[in-house]
Amino acid sequence: MTKKTTWSDRFESALHPAIAIFNASIGFDIELIEYDLTGSIAHAQMLGQTGIITTEEVAQLVAGLEQIRQEYYQGEFTPGVEAEDIHFAVERRLTEIVGDVGKKLHTARSRNDQIGTDVRLYLREEITNIRGKLREFQLVLLELAENNVETLIPGYTHLQRAQPLSLAHHLLAYVQMAQRDWERLADVYKRTNISPLGCGALAGTTFPIDRQYSAELLNFDAVYENSLDGVSDRDFAIEFLCAASLIMVHLSRLSEEMILWASEEFNFVKLKDSCATGSSIMPQKKNPDVPELVRGKTGRVFGHLQALLVIMKGLPLAYNKDLQEDKEGLFDGVKTVKASLEAMTILLADGIEFNTTRLNNAVGEDFSNATDVADYLAAKGIPFREAYNLVGKVVKKSLAVGKLLKDLTLEEWQQLHPAFEADIYQAIAPRTVVSARNSYGGTGFEQVKAAIARAKSRLNI
């Protein structure tokens, strides 16, 4: 590298070309340009407000920074590795545009508080974007739920048929998960939206800066209380990746269900052509690539969380170059969560069709009404455990003769226990079984309708 670097006057020789590349972050922190410019404009205005530079100088700096913004969007600002990072790239170009006054921008600031500011400005915007996408995801689920209150679906525990459910109830479980994700992100936002600007390299600055003023210009809620903490804290990014990981957990569980449901064995949903792919060799195949990819991408986001935790755990205060490694994982985490939410929303809205006939029939072909037989007896005063044991024997016997509970004759029922009456058939019909679970938060149709109403009012619809 023969080009002059910021510290060439201090150093004897230039950086080894390979090390220059190794050291540079411009390849990925260019993504922060918008925030770097916005942060620099606020910093310049604060320098003017406090009289550290003149109003005229502020105007020149701001105009120059705005010009860089324009150049970037016109594809004319493409700094290379010689710039090292976004901060040097901008400062260098600024000085080319406005002359020596450009060199005043970095007064009372360090790249350490600058990058902290940039990443927080970036992340708070992306948190808002992701929360918007969570809402869209919830809306699609809610619409599906509303259309399927009375569609029945087998409910599972241990992936064994357990008790039948309203399909809407199943879908609403994901609305709840997304609600927690939405709330969790609001909480992460609070700790992301704090300004480290003015913490300097680590110790603050000798200039009479006004940190509150620049924080206000940037719409931060508060400023970091301690300059060492301000430049070296990445808790907010870890918290975000944790919240992002949980979003992915939820999407991945839904994906797994979609994949199972689309299989021939379950046959609960049909994949539409818009969201499925074929095989290059097996002509009959229709593959659930979308949920498979979401399930697969989940690992990346977990990985980014793990990586950042490990980056942080051994760092002495304050800034260390290790912190440059926080960005790529964070950026990829943001992109992956957004893309996955979008893809799952499209899949639910346009990519699947519930096989409602099959679903409604499926719940009548098993012993998932066995609990209801026990409940029937218990309601007549027979102790539940006794009733449970009795029904266990009935199931065993029925299985042996290849019958379902609904196929037993009234005589057979009464031989088992005299308390059985003709209404047993009605009591164990899948629709009755589902609608009878009318406890708060249960799958009974009335409960499901109430849950939909609550979710809608939460979403202001």
Taking contact as CB under 6 A, which single stretch among the options 109-117, 146-154, 273-281, 394-402 is the one that binds ligand ARG?
109-117
Q: Which is nearer to ligand ARG, 323 or 343 (CB)?
A: 323
459 three-state secondary structure: coil
Taking contact as CB under 6 A, which single stretch among the options 63-71, 307-315, 317-325, 439-447 is the one that binds ligand ARG?
317-325
Taking contact as CB under 6 A, which single stretch among the options 13-21, 73-81, 107-115, 285-293 is the one that binds ligand ARG?
107-115
Cross-strand partners of 161? 156
Q: What are the tokens at 447?
A: 């409960």
Q: Which of 195, 255, 279, 439 is catalytic?
A: 279
| Minimum gap (Å) between residue 290 Cβ and ligand ARG | 34
Phi and psi at 194, nearest 5°, equal -125, 135
**Residue of 109, 111, 170, 295 that binds ligand ARG (CB under 6 A):** 111
Q: 3-state DSSP helix/strand/coil percent for the chain, to nearest 5?
A: 65, 5, 30
Q: Which amino acid is at 173?
A: A
Q: What are the tokens at 215?
A: 């924080």
Q: Which of 158, 280, 439, 457 is catalytic?
A: 158
The count of residues interacting with ligand ARG (CB under 6 A) is 10
Query: Is 319 an interacting residue with respect to ligand ARG (CB under 6 A)?
Result: yes
Q: What angle do CA 37, 39, 40 make, to 5 degrees?
A: 65
Query: Is 294 an interacting residue with respect to ligand ARG (CB under 6 A)?
Result: no
Query: Is 40 an interacting residue with respect to ligand ARG (CB under 6 A)?
Result: no
Neighbours of 441 (CB within 10 A): 13
| Minimum gap (Å) between residue 142 Cβ and ligand ARG | 41
The whole-angstrom distance between residue 193's C-alpha and the CA centroid of its chain comes to: 18
The whole-angstrom distance between residue 205's C-alpha and the CA centroid of its chain comes to: 38
**Is the distance from CB of 120 to CB of 59 less than 8 angstroms?**
no
In a 13 Å sphere around the CA of 96, the CA atoms on its Cβ side amount to 9
Q: Which is nearer to ligand ARG, 21 or 379 (CB)?
A: 21
Q: What is the DSSP string of 111-132?
A: HHHHHHHHHHHHHHHHHHHHHH
**Residue of 323, 343, 391, 452 that binds ligand ARG (CB under 6 A):** 323
Query: Is 324 an interacting residue with respect to ligand ARG (CB under 6 A)?
Result: yes
**Is the distance from CB of 295 to CB of 256 less than 8 angstroms?**
yes
- Give catalytic status of residue 158 as yes or no: yes
- Give catalytic status of residue 16 as yes or no: no
Q: Tell me whether residue 437 is exposed, middle or buried, using C-beta atoms within 10 angstroms of its C-beta: 0 to 12, 13 to 18, 19 or more.
A: buried
Query: Is 25 an interacting residue with respect to ligand ARG (CB under 6 A)?
Result: yes
| Minimum gap (Å) between residue 83 Cβ and ligand ARG | 11
Taking contact as CB under 6 A, which single stretch among the options 99-107, 145-153, 280-288, 318-326 is the one that binds ligand ARG?
318-326
User: What part of residues 112-131 is at the interface with ligand ARG (CB under 6 A)?
Assistant: 112, 115
Query: Is 347 an interacting residue with respect to ligand ARG (CB under 6 A)?
Result: no
Binding positions for ligand ARG, rule: CB under 6 A: 25, 29, 85, 111-112, 115, 319, 321, 323-324
Catalytic residues: 158, 279
